[in-house]
Structure 1
C-alpha cells in the first residue's frame, strides 16, 4: 500500500502547496484519515521531500523567466527581482535555523494547525474586504524593503504551523500594495529557495528513513506532486486574475473546524506530530 499512500500524498501536496490553504493541515488530515502506518519521522520527512516535486513545477512553469537569470550581470530588472527574492528568504532562514526544532516540538499538533487555518481564513476575508488600491503590478517592481517585509510575513507560517506559507506571503504582499497576481507570482518564486532548501536538507539528513518505504515510492510521490502542482499553479493564476481569495477563506474555516471536530470525536489525536 505504500505506493497508494505516496500517490495520495502527492496529489494533496500538489494541490495545496501553492494555494493559500496550508499543505501542512491537509497532509495531517490526509495521513490520519488514511491511517498511514508509517512512523511520524518517516511521514514528516516524506511530506517535506515531496515538496521538491512542487518546486520543480514552479521551475517548469516559469522556465523562460528563470532562464533570464543568466543576464543578471547586466539586466537591472533581473538584479532587482532576484535581490528581492534572496532578501525575502532571509527571515525564514534565520528563524528556521534558530527555532525550527523548538517550533516543531511545541506547536506541530493538529489543534494548532486547525486554529491556524481558521484564523488565517478570517484574516484573508478581512484583508480582501479592505479593498486597498494596489500600486505594484510586476514582481520586478518590488523594492528591497517590501521584499523583506513579505519575507517577514512568510515567517508566520513557520511560527504557526498550518497558517500556510503561500497565504502569509501573498497576504503580506497584498497589504504592501501588490496586486493579487503579482503577490501570488512572487510567492511562487519565493517558494523555490525556501521550500527547495528545506526539502533538500531533510532528504540529506533523513534519507535513511525514506528507505523504509522505498526510493521508488518517494519518487512516485514527488512525481505526482509535480504534475498536480503544475496544474494548480496555472489554475490559481487564472483564478486570481478575476477573483479574490474569499472562497479560500471560507474553505479554510470549514477545514479547520472539521479538524477540531475530528479531534473532539477522537478520530484524530492531538499529540505532537514532530
Structure 2
C-alpha cells in the first residue's frame, strides 16, 4: 500500500494508505472527506465540552441576553425545560450567554468530557508520529462515541438548535464562521505533489510509479490558491543541529581571533629561536620567549 503524508501548507493533517491504481479523482474525494470529518470531530468535541460545562444552547433569539432582559421580554426556554440532563442539574452560568447554564452533574459531566477527549485523540495529529494511517471507520467510531455519550447524558434528546445535535445530524450551518474557511468542498479541492497539481483524470501511478511501498508527501488545498510552498530541504531538527554547530564554530573562531588570548605565545613551539638553541644545547637554560 502507498502511504501518503497529507499536508495543508506546512501543517501535517494525517497519514493515508491507498493503492497505486487509484484514480486521482477518487483519491481526492476520499482525502477531502476525511479532512472534513476530522474538522467535524474537532468542532463536536469543543461543543460537547461546552455543553458539559454550561448545559444545552439557548434558542437563537435568547442568546446574549441578560437575565433582566429575558425577564422583561417574558421569554421562556421551553427546550431547556424539556431537555434536562440525566442525574440532575448543576447550575453554572455561561459567561457568553450561549447556553442555559443548567449543566449536568459531575458524573455526567465527566462522561461527556472524557468521551470528547478520547474521540479527539482518535483523529489527532499524534497518529502521524505513531505512523498510524487515518481511516473513515476510525473517524466514524469517534463520532459514534460522541453520539452515545450525548444520549446517555441527555436521554430526552437535544434541542434542534443545539450545535451538538446539528453536527451529529449533519445539519450544521458554518456560514460566516472561521470553521467554514477550513472546510473544503468536494468540487473545490486539489492535490499537489512535487510542486505540480495532480490531474483528476490520471491515476496515482502516473505520478509515483507502480511501487506499492512508496511513501510520498502530498498537499491538499482549495483550487485557485496557487501552488503550495515546497517542502524545506532540511527538517526542523536538522536545521536546529546545523544552527547549533554553526554557533559553536563561530564561538571557537572568536576565541582564536581574540587579541587578549595570547597564551599560546608562551609555548615552546612558538619560539622562533627554538631550533638554534637545541643545536647549541641551551634548551634547558631558563628559556623565555623573546
TM-score (norm 1): 0.26
TM-score with structure 2 setting the length:
0.25
The structure with more radius of gyration:
2
Q: Between the two structures, name the one with larger relative contact order (CA 8 Å, sep ≥ 6).
A: 1
Report which of the two has the higher share of helix: 1
